[in-house]
Amino acid sequence: MGCATVTTIGAATALHAVRWLSASCALIGLAACMSSARLPEAAASRHDASPAVAVSPPGPSRATAPPPTARADFRRERPSAQARQLADWVAATGDHGAGEFAIVDKKGARLYLFDAAARLRGASPILIGSAVGDDSVPGIGTRPIAQVKPFERTTPAGRFVAERGRNTNGERVIWVDYDNAVSMHRVRATVKAERRLQRLATPTVADNRISYGCINVPAAFYDRYIDAGFAQQRAIVYVLPEVHAMHQVFGLTPAALLATSTARSAGGLRGPPFAQVTRLPEPRLGLQ
């Protein structure tokens, strides 16, 4: 072969290599362009993705969280467990109807007066029925005092709508149970042998049982806290039991007393509903 032939073949081979290289570059460029076209989309996806956030364990929702439990304010007093339970129940449920209320603790021989917000207004020792018991004898309100036997001289337990009134002596009293002649009034020292004033002054409660069933209050306390305005519009008097269980007297279960925030749905206290006092009851003889 001559030099011209070799040169011709070499040129053809070089030309074929150049074409192959150009085609490869074109394919690589196309691939690069296609990859570049997708990069913004991928970058946008990475940019739009929400960052990881630490999530706290779910807690109770505001709608289902139990409301704060209201409690009665006894100030510096140290009430019995029964008095505390009932006062807290009243405060949490509003059973007193947004009026004043009183709690008579027979076991402790003590009276607690609360305002409408369940804040203690005053507390005092009291005298109660000489006989132990939570029920009034049927018909006792119609008997003369002389016919009331010693074992019948009980202060009834329960929930009572208080009424301002007078007894047959013209004395202003708070009727607790008008039909059974049970009232709250100033202590009377008409019978010296009973030593009612001295009994109120002692620190013990064993000698505070002397009345025929009425709740005797020191005169100064009565004038300041009771006669001055208690039950002027409406008020409830709760007399705690000393023989019966709380649920027997008030219709409350132990669970309702402990869980005051749900006590209303668990059952209410037995007793008459609140009503505006539009009349004063007729004067009558009380049990003293």
- Taking the alpha carbons of 85, 91, 95, 96 in that order, is the dihedral positive or negative? positive
- Tokens describing residue 117: 């917000």
Q: What is the pLDDT of residues 52-85, one digit of tens each?
A: 433 334 444 333 333 445 799 999 999 999 999 9
Domain boundaries, the chain: 1-38, 81-266
Q: Work out the number of other CB atoms within 10 angstroms of the CB of residue 93.
A: 19
Amino acid at 76: R
- Indicate whether 284 pLDDT > 70: no
Q: What is the pLDDT of residues 95-152, one digit of tens each?
A: 999 899 999 999 999 999 999 999 999 999 999 999 999 999 999 999 999 999 999 9
Q: Work out the number of other CB atoms within 10 angstroms of the CB of residue 252.
A: 22
| pTM for the whole structure | 0.69
Q: What is the pLDDT of residues 206-254, one digit of tens each?
A: 999 999 999 999 999 999 999 988 988 889 999 999 999 998 998 877 6
Q: Which CATH architecture has domain 81-266?
A: Beta Barrel (2.40)
Helix and strand counts by DSSP (H, E) for the chain: 7, 11
